[in-house]
Structure 1
Amino acid sequence: MNTEPPDREELLADIGDRIRAERHTRGWTQAQLGARCTLSAKAIAHAENGQTSLPLYYLAELCRGLGMTMSDLLSDDWVMPPRKSREPALTPRQAHILRVAASTGLPLPQVAARVGTTRQVVAARLSEAYRLLGVSHLPQGERRAAAARIAEERGLFDTVDSYAA
């Protein structure tokens, strides 16, 4: 049994690798994780790269954002989670247009006026979003709500509020 304390840099790198693996498993960007735990994407990048000692509060926030306990993350029994197959993501513009369209229920010309573009661009972005989210087969009246529900479930609206149209 090894009784020597772990090397500090190795320990920080290991914790960072675990945080990154858990984030990747969920299919989130650093910004999406940051939005869930009130830390900046830069702070998360530093933690994942082992560039900083994490205050316990930050580690607790990261674990809360990941939906796990600190003891689970730091356990000797922790194993690399299997990586999810990459789900298609919406661009910030697509997510913004979908959120406005779904939340207002307005016709395309009025959605276009709200987001500062043309009706054709709104129609194209919504069509792409419906295809990426797998709802293009649904009846027209059900697509927006279904797409918005799926985007919300996948955390695709997390950073859309800061998107400047």
Structure 2
Amino acid sequence: MTIPVQVGPSPVGGGPVAFQDREELLADIGDRIRAERHARGWSQTTLGSRCGVSAKRIAHVENGQTSLPLLRLAEICHGLQMSMSDLLSEEWEMPDCAPRRRGLAGALTPRQALVLREAASGIPLTQVAVRLGMPRPVVSSRLSEAYRVLGVSDMPRDERRSAAMRVAEARGLFDAALEVDAA
């Protein structure tokens, strides 16, 4: 007879803890890699050549569209000249000089707003993708973009969705996205 392995502390005092949403974890790591690359002023091609990975692979990693083997993560961190522990730390913060993407600061696209509203319910991103009829990587990418636009991408994963909803609602960004969609 085998004994189940405890994967972390259980909130109720026993048994394994459910793994957090895999897609959101990949998107979070990708966001961090993108922010660190932007802070250095590098293109995906530059980072790729520094760590022996194609620019296309870097793009897939940054968009949360691919699994990230430990060795690949180590190579990317080496290219960024930082340790994996620094990149993955709960204390990691968005670099101050990381630029906002394509002038989107303060505005959500209709798709970002839609994905954020669905994701705010706390369901896994694979279920959000099914509900919206979108590929899962697109859902991850739109949610990551919304987090960056709203300035919450450096928050811990478990707080990010609710913080993004609060910021978007406070700024009236859901209504603005619907107006843009109707136009």
TM-score (norm 2): 0.44
TM-score (norm 1): 0.49
